[in-house]
Amino acid sequence: MAQLMKIDGKRLLQDLLVLRDFTDTPGSGVTRFSYGTQDKKAREYLFEQAKALGCRIETDALKNVRIHMPQNKPECKRVVIGSHVDTVRNGGWLDGIYGVTGGLAVLRALKDCQLNRNLELVIFAEEEGSNFGSTMTGSKFIIGSYSGPDLDKLKNDQGVSLRTILGDPSPTELEAVQWDFAQIEAMLELHIEQGPVLERKGLPLGIVDVIFGMQVIEVEIKGVGNHAGATPMVDRKDALCAAAQCILAAEEMVGPDGTSVVTVGRIHAEPDCSNVIPEKAWFTLEVRDRDNKKIQTYMEHIIAAFKEICSQRGVDCQITRTSSSKPLSLDTGLIETMKGLAEKKRIPHQVMDSGAVHDACMIANHARTGMIFVPSIGGRSHVPEEDTKKEDLILGAQFLLDLASDLTGAK
């Protein structure tokens, strides 16, 4: 196994620090939505770094990016490394961007090597779904599970469609977004764990076997708005109280499970006035697990319970399914290779699942895919406190380099 190259850890940390400042919310975590100004700035910085290595940069109609090493040849298969640069609102400085800067560090380390497979850094667009409500949007187009009509369906909070944001790409441009998976030798995503497992066990490295699936719904409850002082409690049809009862019912149902998780991450009431009984309540709800049957069963029970609660309260309840992905097993061959490499390098590690979804889930149905985790301090992620020890960040990137060197036959 080739294993001579070394990651420039200082540069990796420097890149991450530069990119941390590309945020719409300075001082309150990183907010960098896809297709926004900060996303553009982060990409420009990364492109500059890649161009300095002589790499060729290709951006598709969805704004997914492929960065090709100068020594790549059209006839060779592709080893793809990468992740995303977008964040949730007030998110952390490492989610996604660590996999991209780690990938860049690998390109730097292999710049002058001979490769017998092509090496490519990919930046997936709109992974978080912060703009358009659907996670892994860029990779869903890459695998063809989203196509032209989805560009019209996906709308941001201002009601602007993804098609408009992207400048109305032609059917030919959209077709070109899809990858030819026969050309992919392997895909590797380096990421922070985003949970407490590695830190609790004192392990610097995780090798992912299964990524949780998820189903997401939007719930709109319509009651009757009225005066907050003059309307007796018995005469109310309060949409927000109905929503509160629904949310707690879902928590009670899933809470004791131990593996499955349920989250209501967004909620708002209308008219949003302290002295008006809410006429409307709207919220999102998602269920995740490593077992798809459990996700389906919980979701069916939750929807039935919501209908029952709303009918008892005499309010209307509309439920829309917005997004779903199935649990995914990653490539067993790559898992064995990673275990072997970790053992050889005497890195304490464990094989584990991922509660967070990743673009790797989309690719894994079509090509050999592996994921590497490093610990998250305090198990915190998607919040400004998100962090990882410097030495773990460097260790993860070095592990990615060793693996990529092996898969590309770097010499």
**At a CB cut-off of 8 Å and minimum separation 6, what does 26 contact?**
none
Q: Is 67 in contact with 107 (CB distance < 8 Å)?
A: yes
Tell me how far CA of residue 250 lies from CA of 2, 219, 255, 296, in angstroms. 51, 13, 8, 14
Q: Which is nearer to ligand GLV, 356 or 367 (CB)?
A: 356
Helices 239-254 and 292-312 pack at an angle, to 10 degrees, of: 150
* Cα(317)–Cα(307) distance, integer angstroms: 7
CB of 266 to ligand GLV, least distance (A): 12
Amino acid in the structure at residue 347? I
* Cα(242)–Cα(268) distance, integer angstroms: 13
User: Which tokens hold the place of 143?
Assistant: 């695998």
404 binds ligand GLV (CB under 6 A): no
Of the residues 16, 357, 397, 404, which one makes contact with ligand GLV according to CB under 6 A: 357
Q: Which is nearer to ligand GLV, 63 or 313 (CB)?
A: 63
Half-sphere exposure of 160 (CA within 13 A, CB side): 8
* Cα(97)–Cα(82) distance, integer angstroms: 9
Helix (H) / strand (E) containing 191: strand 184-192
15 binds, among Mn ion, ligand GLV, none (CB under 5 to 8 A by kind): none
> Which residues of this chain interact with Mn ion, rule CB under 5 A?
95-96
CB of 128 to ligand GLV, least distance (A): 6
Q: Which is nearer to Mn ion, 126 or 279 (CB)?
A: 126
**Per-residue binder mask for ligand GLV (CB under 6 A), 91-130, x = binder:** -------------------------------------x--
CB of 247 to ligand GLV, least distance (A): 19
135 binds, among ligand GLV, Mn ion, none (CB under 5 to 8 A by kind): ligand GLV
Q: Is 113 exposed, middle or buried, given 0-12, 13-18 or 19+ CB atoms closer than 10 A?
A: middle
192 binds ligand GLV (CB under 6 A): no
262 binds ligand GLV (CB under 6 A): no
359 binds ligand GLV (CB under 6 A): no
**Per-residue binder mask for ligand GLV (CB under 6 A), 128-147, x = binder:** x------x------------
Helices 390-408 and 97-109 pack at an angle, to 10 degrees, of: 50
Q: Which is nearer to Mn ion, 95 or 209 (CB)?
A: 95
Tell me whether the omega of the peptide bond preceding residue 348 falls within 30 degrees of 0, making it cis: no
356 binds ligand GLV (CB under 6 A): yes
Q: Which is nearer to ligand GLV, 96 or 223 (CB)?
A: 96
Alpha helices in 176-261 (DSSP H): 197-201, 239-254
Q: Which is nearer to ligand GLV, 9 or 384 (CB)?
A: 384
357 binds, among Mn ion, ligand GLV, none (CB under 5 to 8 A by kind): ligand GLV
CB of 194 to ligand GLV, least distance (A): 7
360 binds ligand GLV (CB under 6 A): no
CB of 162 to ligand GLV, least distance (A): 18
* Cα(342)–Cα(228) distance, integer angstroms: 62
* Cα(169)–Cα(53) distance, integer angstroms: 30
CB of 277 to ligand GLV, least distance (A): 33
Residues near ligand GLV, by CB under 6 A:
128, 135, 356-357
